[in-house]
Structure 1
Amino acid sequence: MKLKMLAIAGGLLAATALSTAGAKADVKIGLLGGVSGPIAAMAPAMIDAAQLAISQVNDQGGILDGETLVGVVGDSACNPQGGTDAATKAVNIEGVTAIVGPHCSGAVLAAAGSVTVPAGVTMVTPSGTSPEITGLDDNGMVFRTVPSDDYQGRALARTLREQGYEKVAVAYINNDYGTGLANAFKGEFEAQGGQIAGFAAHEDGKASYRSNLADLSSGGADTLVIFDYGDGTGLTILRQALENGFFERFVGGDGMKSDAVINELGTENLADYFASSPVGEASNALDTFNAAFTAVGGDPDAIFVTTSYDAAFMLALAIEKAGGDKAKVAESLREISNGEGEAILPGEWAKAKKLIDEGKAIDYKGAAGDHNFDVNGDVPGTFALFEVGAEGYEVVTNMK
């Protein structure tokens, strides 16, 4: 009888231990992307890159006390209402500790103001580039791993002037992304002695932009600069401009560097089409990411994959540093990438966790660069101008 009771007691203890071990809650981070809407073709690769970071954490023992890090995907639809709805679900229903995204600037601004900042949830966007994000009243809780369009617009303007562009027209989508990028470009292009022969906003989703294009071409420019999305209205504008011969050359911002443009219009029709985009600086960190992403079937040259990966991996490091306390994630995010401490490359989770547990400083070296955030949560960056070649987008020149 005594042996039987001991066996029962042992079984109960084992069951309790198993129950306790199984009761550990997953640590969730939101992955809010433009799954639908004008950047739908870009979003999957960006989310896959963030998921790579999450899988590396879990493959190397998990986060905190062995918990599983889970990426909760939400569709911000690249618009303010979608961003608010996706963030509300992530924060209030899923209980995320932090958020990667949203992908588009309008969604970032809306989600931050309405949901994440009031809830005390740190957000890192890998592709929200509007200068408006810099000035957010965000209690220091909104960051980005991609440079502001103030940098991109000015760099693109200087590059075009260096390449001999004298007079251009500018078409931009009437949202936070398009407006911020267009104004930065216009100011610098004119400061560099160039002429803006047409400058007009357009609304999303119209069937025809031929009258807009006719007005823009009336100023005599042979080049149209398009600040829009290559999966949406920007593609329509480019197609109708080509079909009707309104302009001879075309330049897009990062939103126009989409495979949809090539797939829909054909390489043979894009000999005079160029697009700018942030790029990672050559580094061991970038090489490490490229190899890891390629190994899981990803395209390391896809736009915003480096910034998406870095956002997720950095948030994991920050959560670890903060001991899982979401109120300390923003502060910890700055501490794990500030130029001080032992270097951590993409994928080096076990090494970083050990150092954090020992109370030692770490300095994450990102695939997209060293993300040493300024007071506004912004980072500097590097850009390149791309053309369409036989294998897709190819670098023409680096921009500065």
Structure 2
Amino acid sequence: MREYTTNGIDRRTMLKLTGGVGIAGLAGCSGSSGDEAYNIGMVDAQTGSLSAFGERNQRGKDLALSAVNEVGIGGSELQVTVEDSGSENQGGISAAQKLVNQDGVPFLIGAVGSGVSLAIYESVVEGTDVVQLSQNSTGLGLTDFPELLRMSPPGSTQATALADIIAEDGYDSVALTYVNNNYGQSLAEAFTNAWDGDVAYNNSHDQEQQSYSSVISEMNNASADAWLFITYQAEFSTMVNEIFSSGYEAQLYGADSVSGENVLENTPDGSMEGMKIVVPSAPVEEQNYQDFASTFEEEYGQAPTSWAAYAYDCVINAALAIQAADSFTGAALGEVVRDVSRPEGEQVTSFEAASDILSDGSPSDVDYQGVSGPIDFDENGDPVGFLQVLEVQDHSYQGVDFISS
């Protein structure tokens, strides 16, 4: 029978926090009868400026839960309790505190936004045994925290790719604006380090402003023909509308977070024609991704993004760690969470196949290949990654190139 504990919180403290609810019930643990579920947590952006990413995450999470629970984990199901970050650091901290301190989850998926993920780790997770695996964070700062794992590749690869693409397109001067948080600052710094040309404008902007006309005017006055945006969808939509209405002309480039259907819907046709964006990508030619995409489209009537694929793989990775671990505790899960997707094991592309191997073998015997690509966490908790170059053509995104990090 598995051992169930609550992440280093003693029983007396837990009873105070929960008004006497049993610890086993809080942990969502399964007894030997297998009639209860393993409960893990997820901090997602269900509201706020990153909610478009959060919606896709939930869909990927739900598909993964279906795949896991069709098979089961030792006769039990997996549950994911989701809390909203509101796309903000403090909201993420509050959500994580609820999941870790009250619900007692030993495994936490979260979050959208690099600053949110870091805030959760430093304020809630660091110093505990809880395993944190971020679904959508690309900020470079996460690399400095090896125990903070992430499914999406670090932004350093994006920054280098953007610098190369802009140079290859024949530009030697760029105007750069970035959102004033960890994600924007770290990616902007990585770009300027990789860029050999002139940076004619290099300034941050705040989130959720009604207008960015002063930023756009300053970029135009910098006389750079290439403009690079490292920001979020809502902010970028406002900027594009102001560029268009002002009649400014420039070749636009963007990091992953500026792309999305919301941007297309909220900007005029022709306002971004020819823009190039570098985004993390799943290996779309692989069969397991195509199967995932087909299921996603059947269920939701649209193609998945890479963000949905990352969320899907976070859930599968958590489920495999639960099956492989000696107990449903953060310490035990932390010992195996990297092993179930290492290259040394047998390559498999589904939870069912990986679960079959784990039933008779050890964590090192399986190498789960995710729908988002290989999941081989390095010493910094970063995975192998793929990038895709998108170009805006006729007010839609078209893939024009792939890059392997």
* Partner SS state of residue 165, structure 1: coil
**Counterpart of 1:122?**
131
- 1:255-334 matches, within 5 Å, as 255-281=257-283, 282-297=285-300, 299-323=302-326, 324-334=328-338
Tell me, yes or no, if structure 1 residue 378 matches structure 2 residue 389.
no
Q: Does structure 1 conserve the Cα–Cα contact (< 8 Å) formed by 2:270 and 2:395?
A: no
Tell me, yes or no, if structure 1 residue 52 matches structure 2 residue 63.
yes
Q: Which residue identity lines up with residue 275 of structure 2 in the other structure?
A: Y
Tell me, yes or no, if structure 1 residue 168 matches structure 2 residue 179.
no
Q: Distance in 2 between matches of 1:298 and 1:325?
A: 38
* Partner SS state of residue 43, structure 1: helix
Gaps of 5+ in 2: 1-30
* Partner SS state of residue 36, structure 2: coil
Identity of aligned residues (%): 28
**Counterpart of 2:143?**
134
**Counterpart of 1:369?**
373
Q: Distance in 2 between matches of 1:265 and 1:147?
A: 29
Compared CA separation, residues 320 and 300, structure 1 to 2 (3 A): farther
Q: Does structure 1 conserve the Cα–Cα contact (< 8 Å) formed by 2:42 and 2:109?
A: yes
Q: Distance in 2 between matches of 1:344 and 1:399?
A: 23
Q: Does structure 2 conserve the Cα–Cα contact (< 8 Å) formed by 1:27 and 1:97?
A: no
Q: Select 2:188's aligned residue among 182, 190, 211.
A: 182
Shift of 1:390: 5.2
Q: Distance in 1 between matches of 2:211 and 2:194?
A: 30
**Counterpart of 1:252?**
254
Compared CA separation, residues 111 and 26, structure 1 to 2 (3 A): same
Q: Does structure 1 conserve the Cα–Cα contact (< 8 Å) formed by 2:41 and 2:82?
A: yes
Q: Distance in 2 between matches of 1:308 and 1:76?
A: 16
Q: Select 2:97's aligned residue among 88, 91, 94.
A: 88
**Counterpart of 1:238?**
240
Q: Distance in 2 between matches of 1:336 and 1:300?
A: 28
Q: Does structure 2 conserve the Cα–Cα contact (< 8 Å) formed by 1:45 and 1:299?
A: no
Please say which of residues 206-215 and 218-227 is displaced more in the overlay.
206-215
Q: Does structure 1 conserve the Cα–Cα contact (< 8 Å) formed by 2:135 and 2:311?
A: yes
**Counterpart of 2:198?**
195
Q: Distance in 2 between matches of 1:251 and 1:201?
A: 16
Q: Distance in 2 between matches of 1:397 and 1:305?
A: 21
**Counterpart of 1:148?**
154
Compared CA separation, residues 23 and 318, structure 1 to 2 (3 A): closer
* Partner SS state of residue 387, structure 1: strand
Calculate the aligned-residue CA RMSD, in Å: 2.1
Gaps of 5+ in 1: 1-19
Q: Distance in 2 between matches of 1:350 and 1:397?
A: 33
Q: Distance in 1 between matches of 2:75 and 2:396?
A: 42
* Partner SS state of residue 42, structure 1: helix
Please say which of residues 81-90 and 71-80 is displaced more in the overlay.
71-80
Q: Distance in 2 between matches of 1:23 and 1:288?
A: 30
Q: Which residue identity lines up with residue 51 of structure 1 in the other structure?
A: D
Q: Does structure 2 conserve the Cα–Cα contact (< 8 Å) formed by 1:51 and 1:71?
A: no
**Counterpart of 1:4?**
none
Q: Which residue identity lines up with residue 239 of structure 1 in the other structure?
A: N
**Counterpart of 1:10?**
none
Shift of 1:185: 1.2
Shift of 1:391: 8.1
Q: Which residue identity lines up with residue 280 of structure 2 in the other structure?
A: P
- 1:1-40 matches, within 5 Å, as 24-40=35-51
Q: Distance in 2 between matches of 1:161 and 1:370?
A: 30
Q: Does structure 2 conserve the Cα–Cα contact (< 8 Å) formed by 1:387 and 1:394?
A: yes
* Partner SS state of residue 41, structure 1: helix
Shift of 1:365: 0.6
**Counterpart of 1:41?**
52
Q: Distance in 2 between matches of 1:169 and 1:95?
A: 47
Q: Which residue identity lines up with residue 281 of structure 2 in the other structure?
A: V
Q: Distance in 2 between matches of 1:262 and 1:341?
A: 42
Name the TM-score, length of structure 1 as normaliser: 0.87
Q: Which residue identity lines up with residue 57 of structure 1 in the other structure?
A: V
Q: Does structure 1 conserve the Cα–Cα contact (< 8 Å) formed by 2:269 and 2:395?
A: no
Q: Distance in 2 between matches of 1:325 and 1:224?
A: 48
Compared CA separation, residues 208 and 350, structure 1 to 2 (3 A): closer
Please say which of residues 293-302 and 157-166 is displaced more in the overlay.
293-302
* Partner SS state of residue 376, structure 1: coil
Q: Distance in 1 between matches of 2:42 and 2:195?
A: 36
Compared CA separation, residues 344 and 399, structure 1 to 2 (3 A): closer
Compared CA separation, residues 316 and 300, structure 1 to 2 (3 A): farther
Write the deviation string for residues 221-266 of structure 1: whole angstroms up to 9, x where unpaired.
1222110001x22222222122213342221111101211100013
Compared CA separation, residues 214 and 293, structure 1 to 2 (3 A): same
Q: Distance in 1 between matches of 2:105 and 2:138?
A: 23
Q: Give the aligned length.
A: 371
